[in-house]
Amino acid sequence: PARTAVAPTAEADASLVGRLRRRLGYVRPTIDARRHARPGPAPADDAGRAALLRRWVALQAERLAADVDADRTGAPTPAPDLVGRARRLWSLAHLQRHGIGGDRVKAAVPRAWEAMDRHADHGHGGWVWTIDRSGGITDDVKVLYGQSMAVYALAEVALLGGPMASRARTAAEVAFARATSPVTAMGVPAELVARYWSPLAAGTERHQARAGTVSLDGVLHLFEAAALLVVAGGDGGARGVAELAAALLHERFLGPGGVTRLDEAGGPCPAPPSLGHEIEAAWLLAEHAEVLGLDGERDRCGRLVDAAVAAGFRHGAQDDAPAPGVRLGGRQRSWWVQAE
């Protein structure tokens, strides 16, 4: 879209400026509804909106498959880290499972798995954050968000059935059991550890994770991975972790009195609200309510989404955090919040 700013990488998150911005409720600007320009008139009815979505999904299917081919040659690709490659694998497997993209997407799935698997730490389990073109490790931290997204992607491959399913399910089970073994004082899997699964100093920040804390972001992605692994017929303690994460989301993070991050003792950490994560957590809980036996979850999550939209939707877009508050640069509307 015209005049849409591209957010910089998250490498500055650990800096003093990054911490100050988050403390003040600042989110890097991406979409500003006042300056955002559509390429044409918006669809006027449901049929037009559905047609637009179908065209967009088909375009993204082609782009994702092309990214896999570029990645194999060492050409630059979007988000060349563990989460980027895991999300790409999940997306392609999900497209194939729903019959979108044909042979182009089907052929890209195993190659996308191969690209993600280059991050695998075969000696110690799990996956490292970044690698160079030759496969050498450039950032060896283990981030729960990254481990969760990789398990999530493998569970989606397992749901495809066929020759890859059993191997994907087993790999997801083993990795999930390993990633959830280091825990915080709250009994929740640690969000940020060293390569050898040893704890990092409390307060260490890398890739939007902070050692010694428990965040809404980390817990919702943990739930996401655990729940889909259950759906895919996997084990590795996934059901118990999914139930723990669901309870924690409702009791500490969502609804009135909810927070964005907790410290080691379970107390709230200073952090701005995140409406995008609240919406994301709600639809994930609703999506997996039946398989996990969460009674009344769909209605409860519908109310959570209604509250988040009421707090932040204005001028045609969803704010990242509710106003008022100290907002540098005005109300910020990140692309991923609109997607949620």
Is the per-residue pLDDT at 215 higher than 90?
yes
Please report the pLDDT score of residue 5 as a whole number. 37
Q: Is the pLDDT of residue 15 over 90?
A: no
pLDDT tens digits along 40-90: 777 889 999 999 899 989 999 999 999 999 999 989 888 899 999 999 999
Q: Supply angle C-alpha 246, 178, 136, rounded to 5.
A: 120
Taking only the tens place, the pLDDT of each residue in 219-244 is 999 999 999 999 999 987 999 999 99
> Where would I find the H helices in the chain?
16-23, 46-73, 82-97, 102-117, 144-159, 165-179, 216-231, 238-248, 275-287, 289-292, 297-312, 335-339
Predicted model pTM: 0.86
Q: How confident is the model at residue 35 (pLDDT cuts 50, 70, 90)?
A: low
Lowest mean pLDDT segment, chosen from 18-22, 132-136, 222-226: 18-22
User: Does residue 321 or residue 108 have the better pLDDT?
Assistant: 108
pLDDT at 3 over 70: no
By percentage, how much of the chain surpasses pLDDT 70?
A: 86
Between the ranges 120-124, 310-314, 322-326, where is the mean pLDDT highest?
A: 120-124
157, 165 Cβ separation under 8 angstroms: yes
pLDDT averaged over every residue in the chain: 87
Percentage of the chain beyond pLDDT 90 is: 66
The one-letter amino acid code at 133 reads R
- How confident is the model at residue 270, as a pLDDT? 87
pLDDT tens-digit readout, 98-117 = 999 999 999 999 999 999 99
- The C-alpha atoms of residue 194 and residue 118 are separated, in whole angstroms, by 18
Which position has the higher pLDDT, 139 or 332? 139
